[in-house]
Amino acid sequence: MNIKGLYLEELAKQLALLGEPAYRAEQLLQWVYVKQAESFEQMSNLSAALRAKLAEEFTLNAVSEVTTRHATDTTEKFLFQLNDGSLIETVLIPATPGLTSTDDRQTVCVSTQVGCAFGCKFCASGLDGFKRNLSAAEIVDQVWQTQKLTKEKVNNIVVMGMGEPFANYENVLRALRILNAPWAFGIGARKMTVSTVGIVTGIRRLAEEPMQIRLAVSLHGATDDVRGKIMPINRKFPMNELVAACEYYAATKGKMLTFEYILIKDVNDMIEQAHKLAAMARRVHAKVNLIPHNPVEGLGWQRPDRDRCKVFQHVLRQAAISATLRIDKGADIAAACGQLRLQCERAT
């Protein structure tokens, strides 16, 4: 049982079974989340006998660093190994004054699965197929290790790394509740964004959650024919069902959601797609995040030139849609989803 996957009350119950008083759970979690202890041995105000008992019953670390790549724009990408040897990626994206904004946001992008079954055509994560879901502890520990390695206080979470979060719904929500808990990271739910490939059932389920988590939907096409070429999931959940679920989310939560749109040269960057995207965004009160494609080795698609991206953005803005064109972060460290892991696995 990994401590980073447990709620305070669950840990208290487990400790009660070992004959420990209720306050012990808080004491232990302080060691984990405030003092960032890496082993039970370091928990010096617990007796040696208790530390030995804890080490028998629980584990503390779920991921460990294999390598870190630093981009010139200060983005850092971590390749982590899980206890079964699988590799996953986590990215720290600091707000960079002059590049994005002047605030002190430290965003961590976490993975939720090893590999991915969804096979989006622009993405490296799905190239070697799906292996397994991550546990809540493995998701939480990505943030924990990132804080420990960088000494930065993480205050923003995006669930946009390897895997589809709604295909691992229970563990992802458990991890987000732990990251939100005052006894763990205390990161506000409004500072968390879950990004989905468009799993309609997951969108509707998230709308019912009491936590005010933000939603981003990977659209990447504004019509079924264009989106279908890029995202196989469109066959299962076509645009009309997806947009209806987004409308439901927006109405239930009273919140704006984001459409993510990776611009791929001559595939989805046509002006006619921009007009259709604008109409859809207006319907569900979504803002649009345009991301120039990061070419992936082995996948043929290209990024449109900057002018083309700007024209696409202009069409949206003319239609009064809030549309940002992402400044490319981390391109020099294989920041596109799954690339670092793929490079490492194929090199070994």
Write out the catalytic residue numbers: 89, 337
Near ligand SF4 by CB under 6 A: residue from 92, 162, 172, 226: 162
The crossing angle, in degrees rounded to 10, of helices 239-253 and 271-284 is 40
Judged by CB under 6 A, the stretch of 20-28, 118-126, 143-151, 324-332 that binds ligand SF4 is 118-126
* Closer to ligand SF4 by Cβ: residue 92 or 120: 120
Distance between CA atoms of residues 223 and 78, nearest Å? 35
Q: Is 118 in the site for ligand SF4 (CB under 6 A)?
A: yes
Residues 122, 162: Cα–Cα separation, whole Å: 13
Nearer to ligand SF4, 162 or 321 (CB): 162
Is 294 among the residues that bind ligand SF4 (CB under 6 A)? Answer: no
Q: Does 260 bind ligand SF4 (CB under 6 A)?
A: no
For the bound state, the minimum distance from the C-beta of residue 111 to ligand SF4, rounded and expressed in Å, comes to 8
Q: Which stretch binds ligand SF4 (CB under 6 A): 20-28, 156-164, 234-242, 315-323?
A: 156-164
Give least dist CB 47 to ligand SF4, A: 45
Would you count residue 126 as binding ligand SF4 (CB under 6 A)? yes
The tokens of 266 are what?
A: 């001559």
Residue number, 152 or 241, with CB nearest to ligand SF4: 241
43 vs 110, beta carbon nearer ligand SF4: 110
Q: What are phi and psi of 251, to 5 degrees?
A: -70, -40
Give alpha helix (H) positions in the chain: 8-17, 23-29, 48-57, 136-150, 169-180, 200-208, 224-230, 239-253, 271-284, 306-318, 339-347
114 binds ligand SF4 (CB under 6 A): no
Q: Is residue 74 a contact partner of residue 63, using CB atoms and an 8 Å limit?
A: no
Of 94 and 115, CB closest to ligand SF4: 115
> Least distance from C-beta 195 to ligand SF4, angstroms?
8
**Dihedral (CA of 230, 90, 281, 250) sign:** positive
* Segment contacting ligand SF4 by CB under 6 A, of 17-25, 123-131, 244-252, 291-299: 123-131
Print the binding letters for residues 182-201 with ligand SF4: x by CB under 6 A, - otherwise. ---------------x----
How far are the Cα atoms of 121, 129, 131, 147, 298 from residue 125, in angstroms, in the given order?
A: 10, 8, 11, 24, 12
163 in contact with ligand SF4 (CB under 6 A): yes
Q: Which stretch binds ligand SF4 (CB under 6 A): 31-39, 114-122, 201-209, 324-332?
A: 114-122
Q: What is the CA radius of gyration of the chain?
A: 21
Please identify which residue in 75, 125, 142, 168 interacts with ligand SF4, judged by CB under 6 A. Answer: 125
118, containing H or E segment: none
Interacting residue with ligand SF4 among 114, 120, 217, 288 (CB under 6 A): 120
Could you tell me if 287 and 322 are in contact, meaning their C-beta atoms sit under 8 angstroms apart?
yes
259, 198 Cβ separation under 8 angstroms:
no
Inter-CA distances, 66 with 61, 104, 189, 288, Å: 14, 27, 30, 35
CB of 159 to ligand SF4, least distance (A): 10
CA atoms within 13 A on the CB side of 299: 25
- Among residues 60, 123, 222, 243, which is the contact residue for ligand SF4, using CB under 6 A? 123
**Other Cβ atoms within 10 Å of 230 Cβ, number:** 21
Positions that interact with ligand SF4 (CB under 6 A): 116, 118-120, 123, 125-126, 162-164, 197, 337
